[in-house]
Amino acid sequence: MDRNTRRTVEEYRGTDAGSLENNLIDELVNGELDRQEFLQRATMFGLSVGAIGALLRYVGEPELAFAASEAVRAGGTIRVGLPAGGSLEPYLLNDGGALALAGIPGEYLTFTNPQAKVVPWLATGWKPNKDASVWTFQLRKGVKFHNGKEMTSADVVASMKQYVGKGSNAGLSPFFDASGVSAAGKYTVVFRLKAPLGAFPYLMSQTTYQAIIQPASIAATPGAWVKSGMIGTGAFKLKSLVEKRSAELVRHTAYWGGRPPLDGVKVTYFTGSAPLVLALRGGQIDLAMQLSPQEAQPFKNNSKFKYYAQPTSAHRQLCMRTDQGVLRDARVRRAVALAINRPQQLGKVMLGAGEIGNDTPFWKQFASTDPSINQRKQNIQLAKALLKAANAENLKFNITTWNFLDHTDHAASIQAYAREAGIEVGLEVMDVSKYYDSEPAGADYATTTPWLNRTCSLTEYGWRGVPNLYLSRCYMATGDWNASHYKNPKFDAISKTYLEAPDLPTQRKATKQMSGILLQDTPVITDYFINYTTASSSKVKNYVPEGISHVRLAKVGLA
Amino acid sequence: MTRFILKRIGLALITLFLLSVIVFAISTILPGNVGRSVLGPFATQESVDALNEQLGTNRPIIEQYWDWASGLVQGDLGTSLTLQVPAWDLLQPALENSLKLALVAFLICVPVSIVGGVIAGLRYGGITDKGITIAGISFAAMPEFVTGIILILIFGIWLGWLPVTAQAPEGSNLLTQVKYLLLPALTLTLVLFGYIARITRAGMIDALDSDYTRTAYLKGLPSSVVVRKHVLRNALLPTIAVVAVQVGYLVGGLVAVEVLFNYQGIGLLIYESAREKDLPLLTAGVLVVGIVYLIVTLIADILYAMLNPRIRFGTAE
């Protein structure tokens, strides 16, 4: 290591770095973090690229390298097919098609990249206080909205106040309220959280897809964004919009990330995936937002098309009621989990487009996931023995789900594996509106909706950069999506430790403990994580799909 | 005739009123609520309640209907609950699209089907008759979704002659628009051919077997004159009624075809608004389709009356 590097690091530790950053550096120096984990944590704590490079040199690691982009021709308009979506108002966004369209003109403070690292975007850096309950974000200077005005802290504060307001779908209000966000200068925003949260920068990224930064004047009135022309900071600005049908966007020449190669984007909504696939096959669109592995398969080895499969933490949860019914006994739930041949199932149901799960929400690529946990494997003998011990040898139950992507095949697959262990599983497949409605219509939602109240339900969960949302809403006793009605005070206490911990060793220790508890109790079977699959015409260059359904086109070009 | 038309219009208005009441009433048993539909399954109950309060969808259904109907009297079809834009802004382009597709399909389907039915009737019992009848029944029995996919695969993907989607680019000329609409129009032609052709065929057989046709032949008139002047005029009466009913379907009932060809017609819009429980949009959409349907039926009734003096004079009395 050269003297300059040593001096840079020591200066950084003595002046800029707080206790969290110094802990992180200690962990790196002591070999407790590998390169990948260090990068993940360093970006989360907002260390600059220069500081990260110096620290890597300090411990003898090669510096950061950035993937080279394909050379693209400037010009052209890309035609993108999206599934028909609902409202485009950011605070109301709830489906892939709408968030994909809104996310073209709209951008976020941070960005969770496909490797689950949070990186600077509209914010260039962020710093927590000692216990990660106060976070200070530095905004990028010179970012221009589509109306020509510069983005400042006032815009961020007004946007965030809208997203924690009544009727907002952003889910940020549990973490801070309107009084908790304030400007500290033209380019500095401070968030005072209700409780410490180590992964807060992730919440400001596109995984909270509602949190688009709008001009303050528009953000002050919820519901005004679309009517005002969807003014954001993104690489393309809205030219025309026909609700529920199509949109046309043109290049934002003052884009902070450099001039986008494409002249524009034409978006068409499709109802149903079959017409989307046919349109791509027929050459009427260049890029489809998302396709199931089965739909994407014909494009895989076809020179006219490109096939994309992005590993993500998106997964399915087979939730089993732990408080009542035939699955109340943990041994019975473990037996169901042991009946499944996960690698075989992944191959059959998802055509291999995914990774097998271990009945926890801890995806292997999360930095906090402890890699030492043994993978659960099919063991029919043990499953039968557990059923016998639980006096449940004639076990019968239904899996309730809805007709979405792989759900029906997935449920049928579990049904077939369960039969090998002598378990009789019935299938109850509903329409989306029934599965996610109160039952009967108008009844209390939380206590009657099928997806939260059936003996066993199969539900989809989208990609996130950290498992916080899964833990706090699906597994903790207070979670409003806790479909298995799981209550374990010990688990909740460890979850709380995990959520508050800003350092990786504490988080990793917690996920190891939680994994042990979840394997024992098995309230939820997570048998696979899915790859985000889609396809485009071969002339599309530099496109990288994102697990949350955004269609990022700033660097994309056409051959 | 004027009295006949006024009576029909009066009945149409009552029908439309009842239609709107029925749609509102039925919507109460549809699953889902607007707040949940807009915010999605994973929204907190507090957010859903707040949005329902904001949209006014937590009020009694009669109150919501009264608000909507009061606006309608003043020419306001209401505001879409999910998108917060005037319902007419969504319905107008969708209706235009549906009318375009219906017109193209109508212009292909009706002449082809009538000619098919007439030929089958003239060749009653022969190979041509059997061929037309069997083909018609086969196409009619096939779901339009399947027929559409077959046509897409052949003409859109393998041969590459026609566009796979039906929506022509903005600003396209008439020919391009027709080109985009050909595949769905052909799909509809195949679906409706059997039905219209069979009715025409039956009418032809009846008319050919009637006393007045026999008299015309005995008078020594040539076959072409008998068919044109005596047979067709009577044989096509039931066909007119059937075609009028199909126009209603062509305008508002093409959900499967509109989905397959990604065509934003009014049928798809109504279906989506029903799914999202967007009552003002749903009711306005049904009403608009109802109006189109009633206008077409009225025209058919007038045509029928003009061709059939018994109806005309019977009504006038």
pLDDT tens-digit map of B69-92: 888 888 888 888 888 889 999 999
User: Quick check: B267 and A271 in contact, CB under 8 A?
Assistant: no
Ranges of H-type helices in B142-173: 144-151
CB pairs A-B closer than 8 Å: 129
| Closest Cβ–Cβ partner in A242, A282, A441 for B32 | A441
Q: Do B40 and A446 touch (CB under 8 A)?
A: no
User: Quick check: A547 and A466 in contact, CB under 8 A?
Assistant: no
Q: Do A271 and B272 touch (CB under 8 A)?
A: yes
pLDDT of residue B311: 64
Q: Confidence class of residue B33 from pLDDT cuts 50, 70 and 90?
A: confident
Greatest extent of chain A over all pairs of C-alpha atoms, in Å: 72
Give how far B72 is from chain A: nearest CA, Å.
Answer: 22
pLDDT tens per residue across span A17-45:
766 677 777 777 766 667 766 776 776 66
Q: Which is higher by pLDDT, B7 or B93?
A: B93
User: Quick check: A233 and A145 in contact, CB under 8 A?
Assistant: yes
Strands A524-525 and A424-430: unpaired
Q: Which residue of A has its CA nearest to B269?
A: A244
pLDDT of residue A377: 96
Which residues in chain A are closer than 8 Å to B165, comparing Cβ atoms? Answer: 268, 275, 278-279, 282, 284
pLDDT of residue A19: 67
Assign 3-class secondary structure to A188-228: EEEEECCCCCCCHHHHCCCCCCCCCCCCHHHHCCCCCCCCC
pLDDT of residue B317: 39
How many Å apart are CA A462 and CA A474, to the nearest integer? 13
Q: Which of A3-7, A194-198, A506-510, B39-43 has the lowest mean pLDDT?
A: A3-7
Q: Which residue has the tokens 């509109």?
A: B258
Q: Which is higher by pLDDT, B145 or B46?
A: B145
| Closest Cβ–Cβ partner in A284, A434, A445 for B45 | A445
Q: Do A282 and B167 touch (CB under 8 A)?
A: no
Q: Which residue of A has its CA nearest to B161?
A: A282
Give how far B131 is from chain A: nearest CA, Å.
Answer: 32
Which residues in chain B are closer than 8 Å to A223, comparing Cβ atoms? Answer: 84
The per-residue pLDDT of chain A, averaged, comes to: 90
pLDDT tens per residue across span A87-124:
899 999 988 999 999 999 999 999 998 888 899 999 99
Share of chain A above pLDDT 90, in %: 72
Interface mutation vs chain B, best among A239, A285, A445, most B CBs within 10 Å? A445
User: Quick check: A55 and A28 in contact, CB under 8 A?
Assistant: yes
Interface mutation vs chain B, best among A88, A89, A91, A92, most B CBs within 10 Å? A92
Distances (CA, A) of A496 to A134, A464, A489: 17, 18, 10
User: Quick check: A105 and A184 in contact, CB under 8 A?
Assistant: no
User: Quick check: A540 and A555 in contact, CB under 8 A?
Assistant: no
Q: Which residue of A has its CA nearest to B277?
A: A433
pLDDT of residue A194: 93
Q: Do B89 and A84 touch (CB under 8 A)?
A: no
| Closest Cβ–Cβ partner in A166, A431, A441 for B50 | A166
Q: Do A441 and B268 touch (CB under 8 A)?
A: no
pLDDT of residue B294: 84
Q: Which residue of B has its CA nearest to A272?
A: B259
Share of chain B above pLDDT 90, in %: 30
Q: Which residue of B has its CA nearest to A82?
A: B262
How many Å apart are CA A541 and CA A523, to the nearest integer? 43
Give how far A63 is from chain B: nearest CA, Å.
Answer: 41
Which residues in chain A are closer than 8 Å to B157, comparing Cβ atoms? Answer: 278, 281-282
How many Å apart are CA B304 and CA B302, to the nearest integer? 5
pLDDT of residue A49: 66
pLDDT tens per residue across span A376-435:
999 999 999 999 999 999 999 999 999 888 999 999 999 999 999 999 999 999 988 789
Q: Do A441 and B47 touch (CB under 8 A)?
A: no
Which residues in chain B are closer than 8 Å to A276, comparing Cβ atoms? Answer: 262
Interface mutation vs chain A, best among B34, B42, B146, most A CBs within 10 Å? B42
Q: Which residue has the tokens 């903790």?
A: A476
Phi-psi region of A439 (alpha: psi -120 to 50; beta: other; left: phi over 0): beta
Tell me which range, A100-104, A279-283, A404-408, B29-33, is most confidently predicted by mean pLDDT: A100-104
Q: Do A433 and B37 touch (CB under 8 A)?
A: yes
Q: Confidence class of residue B316 from pLDDT cuts 50, 70 and 90?
A: very low
pLDDT of residue A188: 97
Q: Is the dihedral of CA B78, B83, B89, B94 positive or negative?
A: negative
- A415: CB partners within 8 A, 6+ apart: A399, A425, A426, A427
Q: Do B36 and A274 touch (CB under 8 A)?
A: no
How many Å apart are CA A318 and CA A430, to the nearest integer? 15
Q: Which residue of B has its CA nearest to A451?
A: B41
Complex prediction ipTM: 0.75
Which residues in chain B are closer than 8 Å to A167, comparing Cβ atoms? Answer: 39, 47, 50-51, 54
Which residues in chain A are closer than 8 Å to B155, comparing Cβ atoms? Answer: none
Q: Do A436 and B156 touch (CB under 8 A)?
A: no
Of A468, A522, A466, the closest CA to residue A496 belongs to: A468
Share of chain B above pLDDT 70, in %: 95
Give how far B262 is from chain A: nearest CA, Å.
Answer: 6
Interface mutation vs chain B, best among A302, A433, A448, A474, most B CBs within 10 Å? A433
Give how far B48 is from chain A: nearest CA, Å.
Answer: 6
Give how far B82 is from chain A: nearest CA, Å.
Answer: 6
- Mean predicted confidence (pLDDT) in A437-448: 84
DSSP-based three-state secondary structure for B6: helix
| Closest Cβ–Cβ partner in B47, B165, B268 for A284 | B165
Which residues in chain B are closer than 8 Å to A277, comparing Cβ atoms? Answer: none
Q: Which of A75-79, A519-523, B16-20 has the lowest mean pLDDT?
A: B16-20
Buried/exposed code over A290-306 (b: 16+ C-beta within 10 A; e: otherwise): bbbbbbbeebeeeeebb
Q: Which residue of A has its CA nearest to B165?
A: A279
Give how far B286 is from chain A: nearest CA, Å.
Answer: 18
pLDDT of residue A215: 98
| Closest Cβ–Cβ partner in B43, B50, B83 for A87 | B83
Distances (CA, A) of A223 to A168, A179, B88: 11, 21, 19
Q: Do B39 and A223 touch (CB under 8 A)?
A: no
Q: How many CB atoms lie within 10 A of CB A394?
A: 10
pLDDT tens per residue across span B173-195:
999 999 999 999 999 999 999 98
Torsion of CA A414, A419, A424, A430, to 10 degrees: 30
- Crossing angle between the packed helical segments A489-500 and A504-521, to the nearest 10 degrees: 160
Which residues in chain B are closer than 8 Å to A445, comparing Cβ atoms? Answer: 36, 45, 48
- Mean predicted confidence (pLDDT) in A496-520: 93
Which residues in chain A are closer than 8 Å to B42, comparing Cβ atoms? Answer: 94, 481
Buried/exposed code over A362-373 (b: 16+ C-beta within 10 A; e: otherwise): bbebbbbbbeeb
Q: How many CB atoms lie within 10 A of CB A260?
A: 22
Q: For residue B177, what is the enclosing H or E element?
A: helix B174-208
pLDDT of residue A36: 66
User: Quick check: A58 and A3 in contact, CB under 8 A?
Assistant: no
pLDDT tens per residue across span A112-162:
988 888 999 999 999 999 889 999 999 999 999 999 999 999 999 999 999
